[in-house]
Structure 1
Amino acid sequence: MGYFVTVESGVKLNVEDLNPEGTKTIVFLHGWPLSHKQFEYQFDVLPFMGYRCIGIDWRGFGKSDKPVSGYTFDRLADDIRAVVDELQLDNFTLVGHSTGGAIAIRYMSRHNSYGVSNLVLIDAAAPIGFSAETAARFLNQALNDRPKMMQEVTDNFFFQYITSSFSEWFFQLGLQAAGWSTSAIIITLRDEQLYADLKKVHVPTLIVHGVHDKVIPFAQAQELNQQIKNSQLVPFHYSGHGPFWEEREKFNQLLREFIG
């Protein structure tokens, strides 16, 4: 089931809601500059095991509206709260990948973990995101040759081999975003930090991170594990930045075990 949820005047988010009758709910937040479709290999499986799976395209990405403003972690977290309120969600597991992990952490801090029973962080861009050097390179590409930027993202994302067909599919996911939202998130990842937020995460937290991640170093997952109480870190030894795809069977099983 797909529909749009209004999060503020003139801005609607695209929401995919699979198996609304499921007994346990999982809300997925994608990474930059992709969409909820990056979790295809979770949505193919988990709803048929009784889980309600909700994928949200952030503003500016996927099929959501693409306003020129609102790309701070605060606003993005508020957008998620608006969806949670609209769908009357409670006792759900919040899963965030990369920048989606940063948004999830800000949601936990800013909205006092509202409705969330468990948190899963996948190669989260936290407590920091891009270095000034990386941000400058991506920003220059985003503003002048966005397909080149997306090709670099694709090339650095995976540790395991991907086919040319899969690469093209992944590449096109990133180009669904607007150029201005793609650029705005680069600046947010450069300028915002989440150190203060980590102390406000109190629910059981699973940290998943590919040891070969070239985008967000594995050391950042170790730091999250140290700073977030009641957290556990599970390294994925055959993954880069996308363990939900590269080791999807292991990831899906781990997620099910963690949710219980």
Structure 2
Amino acid sequence: MGFVTTKDGVEIFYKDWGPKDAQVVYFHHGWPLSSDDWDAQMLFFVEKGFRVVAHDRRGHGRSSQVWDWHDMDHYADDTAAVVKHLDLKGAVHVGHSTGGGEVVHYIARHGEDRVSKAVIIAAVPPIMVKTESNPGGLPKEVFDDLQAQLFANRAHFYHEIPAGPFYGYNRPDAKPSQGIIWNWWRQGMMGSAKAHYDGIVAFSQTDFTEDLKKITIPVLVMHGDDDQIVPYEDSGPLSAKLLPNGTLKTYSGFSHGMPTFNADTINADLLAFIQG
């Protein structure tokens, strides 16, 4: 564990576990969480002999709570700073939700020289918000409402998301885990309200279409068809079509939080893709 300071003076917290000469798997967390959300994956892969790396996005977790520049360009540049600091080569980058957008934008913006493969899980690309070119997207009012709820009572809002749609705990046959719910809340409340408020714009309005077209390395697109946060039809299949070397894997009944809720399945499929 350590920190790297970016060009604009932001301290980015990162974890770096495992043998330094092993294959690197780099994990990118979703909004508004931290690298802790990858516990199930990082423990699994480090025990398999991999080197695992993950950082807390600016304004999230243990990274600096700066008030500005919470956008995909800076998220991608922060990733590049960690990669350069650790001199990572041939890494497999894995991103969940907003982290999937971060992975896509990082590779498109900084090139493929240090990357071998990528995985995006329940990820926000190509674009979430409804526009003329994306008629199937969610209305901007949906994201405006998220900002309003965060502004009004962030602590309550951050309980209701994991207790409800994030893990599918609002489904009739669900069996909520209070540990999972409170761990989500804990991670969210560690970060900056301002960073999270601005981050809603970053993950919903960034158009990753051209980024996806630029990426030539193999990319696995994993998405559950019961995702209530990033709807399946307007994300996973569209991203896979735009990627020159993309493969879509659809999970029946899986929620947005499938890396945690369905860790055994996700870990096995990640391992197969990385070793394939």
TM over 0.5: yes
Asked if 1 retains the 8 angstrom alpha-carbon contact of 2:19 and 2:49, the reply is: no
Residue identity in the other structure for 1:142: L
8 Å CA contact 1:139, 1:183 repeated in 2: yes
Confirm or deny: 8 A CA contact 2:124 2:204 kept in the other structure.
no
After superposition, the C-alpha distances for 1:83-136 in whole angstroms (9 at most, x for unaligned) are 111100010000111001011111111112241100100001111135412211
Name the stretch that deviates more: 101-110 or 14-23.
Answer: 14-23
The residue that corresponds to 1:146 in the other structure is: 154
- 8 A Cα contact 1:25 1:54, kept in partner: yes
After superposition, the Cα gap between the structure-2 partners of 1:46 and 1:22, relative to the gap in structure 1 and judged at 3 Å, is farther
Paired AA for residue 125 in structure 1: V
Q: Does 1:82 align with 2:81?
A: yes
Deviations 1:205-231 (A, max 9, x none): 011111110001111101011111111
CA RMSD of aligned residues (A): 1.4
Distance in structure 2 (CA, Å) of the matches to 1:44 and 1:109 = 29
1:140 counterpart letter in structure 2: A
The structural deviation recorded for 1:169 is: 1.6
1:15 is the counterpart of 2:14? yes
Shift of 1:22: 5.2
Moved over 2 A (4+): 159-162
| Equivalent residue, structure 2, for 1:208 | 222
Contact 1:71 1:184 in 2 (8 A): yes
TM-aligned CA deviation for residue 51 of structure 1? 0.6
Amino acid corresponding to residue 183 of structure 1 in structure 2: Y
Counting matched residue pairs gives: 259
CA distance in 2, matches of 1:243, 1:41: 11
Residue 152 of structure 1 deviates from its aligned partner by 3.1
Aligned-partner residue type, residue 218 of structure 1: Y
The answer on whether the counterparts of 1:108 and 1:114 sit within 8 Å (CA) in structure 2 is: no
Asked if 2 retains the 8 angstrom alpha-carbon contact of 1:36 and 1:62, the reply is yes
One-letter amino acid matched to 1:21: K
Separation (CA, whole Å) in 1 of partners of 2:21 and 2:166: 32
Please give the TM-score of this superposition, normalised by the length of structure 1: 0.95
Classify the secondary structure of the residue corresponding to 2:214. Answer: coil
CA contact (8 A) 1:29 1:100 kept: yes
User: Which consecutive residues of structure 1, in runs of 5 or more, have no partner in the other structure?
Assistant: none
For the residue of structure 2 that corresponds to 1:44, the secondary structure is helix
**In 2: Cα distance, 1:176 partner to 1:64 partner:** 10
Distance (whole Å) between structure 1 residues aligned to residue 43 and residue 175 of structure 2:
21
2:193 equivalent to 1:179: yes
Unmatched 5+ residue regions in structure 2? 130-137, 169-173
In structure 1, the residue matched to 2:244 is: 229
Preserved contact between residue 22 and residue 47 of structure 1 (Cα < 8 Å): no
What's the secondary structure of 1:183's corresponding residue?
helix
Identity %: 28
Contact 1:236 1:243 in 2 (8 A): no
2:204 equivalent to 1:190: yes
